[in-house]
Amino acid sequence: MRWVAAVRVVAAVLVARAVLVVPADAIGAVHAAGAAGPGGTVHAAGASGPVGAVHAAGASGASGSVARLAGFVALRDIDPSVVEDIRYAGARNFTGAVVDGYEEPVCLLARPAAEALRRAQRELLRSGYSLKVFDCYRPQRAVDRFVRWAGDAADQSTKAEFHPGVDKSRLIPEGYIAARSGHSRGSTVDVTVVRLPARRELDMGTAFDFFDSLSHTDDPRVSGTVRENRGMLKGVLGAQGFVNLPEEWWHFTYRPEPHPDTYFDFPVAVATVRP
């Protein structure tokens, strides 16, 4: 059929570019493993959700080198003064292990988001503070790992630290874990503020990734210094185009997003974005 041939051609071209955008009328799944080389399977599930979901896993050429992704940068190349503590690249997160897709502890972002963070950082540095990022771009395979973790009722090893008041079986129904994340579009960052020079985090009332309504930015139980600190973070980022997710004081998305309908799955590694 003509549409099958057309889809195969489009998939091959997009894999070669390592940037895959699935049109709304794409077929349910395209498997273009042959075009990417060993380990370069691409799954483009255009009909699986409200927008096209993209899995562009390890696209490579004949030499096996990872293809560069245009439009994304390492935050350290834009502003090395921002503190990076990429939690999913280590074991200090709610899964208790390094998360799928995090090959290096580095913050990758779409360039407009990274440049907006640099502007916010300049404002904070003038007052003796700095941004500290916990997560930036997040591959779809990592989100898939979160969903599998949430479904594993036997693993309660991190409950006391990350969700003491919420049963693990409720994390997906109550929206703490979801099958899609704005992080996979490349313009969302999880971030806090630290005081310089000690780099001590300001008191935000909860830890990062604490699954509880107390993490809601404007939770009525939050007052005093904690409310001021959350307000400062929201204000300095908001002035540069970032919009806060009300359910998570640390979660901000730069708008307008360069890739509002695309969920990427390239690995978190500097080689993915550097020319």
Average pLDDT over every residue of 58-82: 72
104 annotated active-site? no
Q: pLDDT tens for residues 237-257?
A: 999 999 999 999 999 999 999
pLDDT of residue 274: 86
Dist CA 78 CA 190 (whole Å): 17
Cα distances from 46 to residues 8, 18, 21, 100, in angstroms, run: 14, 17, 9, 22
Q: What is the dihedral of CA 274, 199, 210, 72, to 10 degrees?
A: -10
Q: pLDDT tens for residues 146-168?
A: 999 999 999 999 999 999 999 99
At a CB cut-off of 8 Å and minimum separation 6, what does 161 contact?
94, 207
Instruction: Tally DSSP H helices, then E strands, for the chain.
Output: 7, 10
At a CB cut-off of 8 Å and minimum separation 6, what does 147 contact?
172, 177, 178, 179
pLDDT of residue 216: 98
Binning pLDDT at 50, 70 and 90, where does residue 67 land? Answer: low
Residue 70 predicted with pLDDT over 90 = no
pLDDT of residue 22: 30
Give the orientation angle of helix 224-238 with respect to helix 111-125, to 10 degrees: 130
pLDDT of residue 205: 98
Dist CA 110 CA 211 (whole Å): 27
Lowest mean pLDDT among 16-25, 35-44, 235-244, 265-274: 35-44
Q: Which of 84, 103, 123, 248 is catalytic?
A: 248
